[in-house]
Structure 1
Amino acid sequence: MKIADLNLELKRIRIVNKIMKVVPISEDFISRTRGLVEVSSGNGKKRNFMLQHLHMSFKFLLRGIQRMIESYSLPNKKLTPHMFRHTFCKWMLKATNNDIEKVRRLAGHSNIATTSRYLKDSYSDLADAVEALPKF
């Protein structure tokens, strides 16, 4: 990700991997990144130093995040970045009342069958559904 990929006014971020996608970002994300964007749009020696430092930081950020996540693993259960993606999809399905098309687009899946894997209910989801049955 580059600073130029953020559009705080339109609340969007451009993600470039296999294909380019534009996804919405939350107010919380905007407030947490505003300082970073302001530094990048400044001028002079301080801006150049900060951008050079940020570029070097971003270079190692992905592997650093992966190592940090793995460091929280339990001895018998490895924690991976993909688990966060899985959790995002599950929570987003719940937040959108199982609107699989919205979640497909937010997750960047080209095929809805990929997203449908996250529809599998957990035991607690099934128990909640049983409890929600109307009483006769």
Structure 2
Amino acid sequence: MKSFTFDDLLQSYFSERWLTERSRISYSVPVKLFRRFVGQDKLPVEVTRDDVREWREFCFSEEGRNLAHSSWNNYCRHNRILFKHAIDHALIDTSFNPFAKMEVTSPRKRKKTLSKRQVEMAREAISLYKKMELYRKKPSILHPVWFWEVVFETFYHTGIRLTQLLLMKPEDINLKSRVLTATWQGAKNNREHFVPISNALYPHLENLMNSAKMVGIQRGEQLFNVNRFSVRHRMETMDSWQVESFYQKLSQICGYQMSPHRFRHTLGTELMKEPDRNLHIVKALLGHSNISTTLEYVEVDIGSLRSAIEGRL
């Protein structure tokens, strides 16, 4: 039997499964990290339970940067699936999966959200820096502010994922029908879903679409691309680092942490506080496959809990 390497197993698995580039990376990275720990020359058939156990202990140590439980479970799951593929197809001479049942119980922390006051403070900061750029005629630390304002409002009003925003093209925004398409390539469940463009978001997206036309952004090209509108950025396409850098700067200005995903949690939580709340609508808006996933995004309102307790008296 051929001595299959980890690269061989990855290629074999990728040839069996139709995966996006993003999904392939999600398998390649955990394998790369495991090989770095056990040694590049170690073959899959030589991996033991002790190897996996020692890697787990390393990951949770200070030397391993105190890896989060959820991250370890992600690494473990992808390696386990790869070994299962190897065993099921008799690619390695063993029937034992060293990654089986090696996940750990992950603590469930409440989702972090933003209060209405925090959102308004962030808007005030953006507005201030936009005026500064206008009157000073030079880039600010949030340059170009008008563009990042569109990004900010898009995350706030739609709750889409960062990857979905980065993959968005001009044809994904229909201003006439007031519908935004969140692409399947950027979703964890590979499902495309549609988000209504609210009255508050409409002028921001209209501004972006008009500006994109002026700089020559064509169909099929990245729409949310700060590099096409900036005198300071010079990359070909906008990546997640540029978006995260903006939120880091805005967080420092406002004095509290903000991120694209925190807006996603906030949207789900706020919608579930409404009197006519509908869990199925929130599920559809966030693009989830099942209700249980949506429930994880919804933070219980302490005010509602207090009212329920007071109502017993």
Question: TM-score by structure 2 length?
Answer: 0.34
Amino acid at match of 1:51: I
Distance, in Å, in 2 between the alignment partners of 1:34 and 1:78 is: 28
Amino acid at match of 1:126: L
Higher RCO (CA 8 Å, separation ≥ 6 residues): 2
Decide whether aligned partners of structure 1 residues 39 and 82 sit closer, same or farther in structure 2, where only a CA change above 3 A counts: closer
Structure holding more strand per residue? 1
Alignment counterpart, residue 3 of structure 1, candidates 152, 170, 173: 170
Corresponding residue number in structure 1 for 2:291: 112
Q: Are positions 1:93 and 2:272 aligned together?
A: yes
Q: Are positions 1:29 and 2:201 aligned together?
A: yes
**How far apart are 1:97 and its partner, in Å?**
3.3
Decide whether aligned partners of structure 1 residues 112 and 40 sit closer, same or farther in structure 2, where only a CA change above 3 A counts: same
Distance, in Å, in 2 between the alignment partners of 1:97 and 1:113 is: 20
Distance, in Å, in 2 between the alignment partners of 1:55 and 1:96 is: 34
Q: Are positions 1:66 and 2:244 aligned together?
A: yes
CA deviation profile, 1:22-41 (whole Å, cap 9, x unmatched): 22110111111212223445
Alignment counterpart, residue 12 of structure 1, candidates 179, 184, 189: 179
Question: Is the Cα contact below 8 Å between 2:280 and 2:291 reproduced in 1?
Answer: yes
What SS class does the counterpart of residue 14 from structure 1 fall into?
A: strand
The alignment covers a number of residue pairs equal to: 125
Amino acid at match of 2:287: G
Question: CA-atom RMSD, angstroms?
Answer: 3.1
Amino acid at match of 2:289: S
CA deviation profile, 1:37-88 (whole Å, cap 9, x unmatched): 23445xxxxx3x3438x67526326422222323416xxx865432221111
* Structure 1 residues without counterparts, runs of 5 or longer: 42-46
Decide whether aligned partners of structure 1 residues 50 and 130 sit closer, same or farther in structure 2, where only a CA change above 3 A counts: farther
Distance, in Å, in 1 between the alignment partners of 2:266 and 2:304 is: 14
Distance, in Å, in 2 between the alignment partners of 1:19 and 1:36 is: 25
Question: Is the Cα contact below 8 Å between 1:98 and 1:119 reproduced in 2?
Answer: no
Larger radius of gyration: 2
**How far apart are 1:105 and its partner, in Å?**
0.3
Question: TM-score by structure 1 length?
Answer: 0.71
Question: Is the Cα contact below 8 Å between 2:224 and 2:238 reproduced in 1?
Answer: no
Distance, in Å, in 2 between the alignment partners of 1:61 and 1:94 is: 34
Distance, in Å, in 2 between the alignment partners of 1:39 and 1:68 is: 20
Distance, in Å, in 1 between the alignment partners of 2:301 and 2:211 is: 44
* Structure 2 residues without counterparts, runs of 5 or longer: 1-167, 228-236
Amino acid at match of 2:294: T
